[in-house]
């Protein structure tokens, strides 16, 4: 099972308010995107903008972003910290051409 589906199943296996299929599709689409898993439908407008279905999908996308961020922060363990500054000799910086 992919990590995206593990996170999704964990989030939706707990008692919570019911969510529509469109909402759940938004959650899994973003989890797959953020965790760099294959996702054939991401980026395609599955629902007509301005409809309740599209609103539910985008609300699910928001939760997907939150779940992905929480997971990536947990497993990152400082790996996403900025690189240390490197001292370069004077005049070695690239100049615009």
Give the model confidence (pLDDT) of 29-38 as tens digits: 999 999 988 7
State how far the Cα of 46 lies from the Cα of 72, in Å rounded to an integer: 27
- 77-95 mean pLDDT: 61
Contact call for residues 32 and 65 (beta carbons, < 8 A): no
pLDDT tens string 49-84: 999 999 999 999 999 999 999 999 888 765 555 556
Q: How far is CA 82 from the centre of its chain?
A: 20
The pLDDT, as a whole number, for residue 44 is: 74
Q: What is the dihedral of CA 12, 13, 19, 25, to 10 degrees?
A: 40
The pLDDT score that the predictor gives to residue 84 is 65
Longest dimension (CA), the chain: 62
CA atoms of 57 and 24, how far apart (whole Å) = 7
Compute the distance between CA of residue 56 and CA of residue 22 in angstroms, rounded to an integer: 6
Q: Please tell me the pTM assigned to this model.
A: 0.74
């Amino acid at each position: 099972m992919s990590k995206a589906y593990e996170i999704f199943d964990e989030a939706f296996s707990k008692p919570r308010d019911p969510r529509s299929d469109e909402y759940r599709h938004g959650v899994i689409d973003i989890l797959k995107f953020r965790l760099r898993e294959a996702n054939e439908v991401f980026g395609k407008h599955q629902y007509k903008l301005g409809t309740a279905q599209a609103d539910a999908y985008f609300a699910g996308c928001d939760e997907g972003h939150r779940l992905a961020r929480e997971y990536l922060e947990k497993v990152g363990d400082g790996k996403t910290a900025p690189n240390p500054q490197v001292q370069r000799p004077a005049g070695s910086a690239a100049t615009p051409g």
